[in-house]
Amino acid sequence: MTMLKGGRGKRPNGGGNSGSARLVLLMAALSACVSAPQQPYAAVQRPQPTTSTYPIKPVANPPKPFQALDVDQREAPPPALVSVVRNLGQSFNGKVGIAVRRIGSDWTVAWNGNLLFPQQSVSKLWVSMAFLDAVDRGKIRLSDSTTITKKDLTLFHQPTAALVGNSGWTTTYSDLMRRAMTQSDNTANDTLLRAVGGPDAVRGYLARRYIRDIRFGPGERLLQSTTAGLEWRQDYSIGRNFYAARAKLPMAARQKALDNYLASPPDGAAPSSIVQALAKLKQNDMLSPASSQLLMSIMSEAKTGPQRIKGGVPAGWHYLHKTGTGQELGARSTGFNDIGIMTAPDGTSYAVAVMIGSTTEPIPTRWQLMQAVAKAVAANHEAR
């Protein structure tokens, strides 16, 4: 695998104009180069009608230092793609990880591909995989229903909260999975997580599939409250209570909590591991063929992040994906991610991950970076 070294370190009118200019100049300079030819675990129990939070466990594998560009040499990737990924990683003002893997081949090109980046809602993908694995093993059915009450609500983006009245709201797990994956609904995702057996079940699933360097955190409520410097209270799930409590914290406390999260994210994942898992999903090595196709079909309907990687995918190509976005503090944005599978008109597919751990660059500059990766993949595609 080819690994490139990097990292320094919001809004559209945020800081970082010099970084934006550098990236624009780099994109122009690179255009010619880009376009040139060239173990078993306990069985899952039926879900119980209880609300759970999960403790944050000590992390066994600490983050690795920044590393250089890494290319898997068992097969040769396009040299121009290697050059573009290197230059994009070097020029971006922030901590960024990029990985591209041609599915069915034996190469990955990555910048900081073995470092752990905060996933945020990218981790919803592993919940859905673990749930579908339980379906494949006959432990649960997508058609099973569950009732969500106010005690089950989380925070941030949760459209299902509007459907939960005093008596709760009943729906199927199939519906919840679609909401979690296409709308990034936190309450829908946490409900699936409880049904499958909690974080340990997801970790066990990834281990059985031999996926390393992908951590799974404690669930949305504990992850986000700890990142903000708060202890979770269920009333934070109502309205803007969480935002109000967070705003009352001293800035030093918020800064320390965010720094601690970024230093060793409990939901951290390596971009190279993510593209490996995506490749295995495409090849039916993560789930049964039926479950693989179902999940990828749902991912193709995602409504989030249309200007991230997807914005750079050319006409005639197909892209399915999952995004993730973390908390902000002042000018600093964290966990701005997009991961997915690009498929060329000839059927060749590439697993792609762009993960911005921390940056002060405005949103359009982050979009430019992500779109540049997609354009480089397409421009350097070589038909089978």
Q: HEC states along 16-79?
A: CHHHHHHHHHHHHHHHHHHHCCCCCCCCCCCCCCCCCCCCCCCCCCCCCCCCCCEECCCCCCCH
Whichever domain contains 182, its CATH number is: 3.40.710.10
Print the domain residue range for 249.
2-379
For residue 24, the model assigns a pLDDT of 52
Around Cβ 62, how many Cβ atoms within 10 Å?
9
User: What does 270-303 look like in DSSP terms, one character per residue?
Assistant: -HHHHHHHHHHHHTTSSS-HHHHHHHHHHHTT--
Position 170 in a domain: yes
How confident is the model at residue 382, as a pLDDT? 79
Q: How far apart are CA 35 and CA 29, in angstroms?
A: 11
Residue 42 belongs to some domain of the structure? yes
pTM of the entire predicted model: 0.85
Task: Report pLDDT for 22.
Answer: 56
Structural domain includes residue 195: yes
What's residue 166's pLDDT? Answer: 86
Number of domains in the chain: 1
How confident is the model at residue 10, as a pLDDT? 35
Cβ–Cβ under 8 Å, residues 55 and 44:
no
Q: Which amino acid, 370? A: M
Q: Which residues contact 71 (CB under 8 A, 6 or more apart)?
A: 1, 2, 3, 77, 82, 107, 108, 109, 110
The verdict on residue 52 lying in a domain is yes
Residue 241 lies in a domain: yes
CB 14 within 8 A of CB 82: no
* Res 45: pLDDT: 41
pLDDT per residue, tens digit, the chain (384 aa), is 555 544 333 333 334 444 555 555 555 444 434 433 333 323 334 444 344 555 555 555 555 444 456 665 577 899 999 999 999 999 999 999 999 999 998 899 999 999 999 999 999 999 999 999 999 999 999 999 999 999 999 999 999 999 998 889 999 999 999 999 999 999 999 999 999 999 999 999 999 999 999 999 999 999 999 999 999 999 999 999 999 999 999 999 999 999 999 999 999 999 999 999 999 999 999 999 999 999 999 999 999 999 999 999 999 999 999 999 999 999 999 999 999 999 999 999 999 999 999 999 999 999 999 999 999 999 999 765
Residue 43 is assigned to a structural domain of this protein: yes
Q: In 3D, which of 59, 19, 5, 35 has the Cα closest to residue 362?
A: 19
For 129, 152, 218, 315, the CA distances from 318, given in Å and listed in that order, are: 21, 36, 33, 8
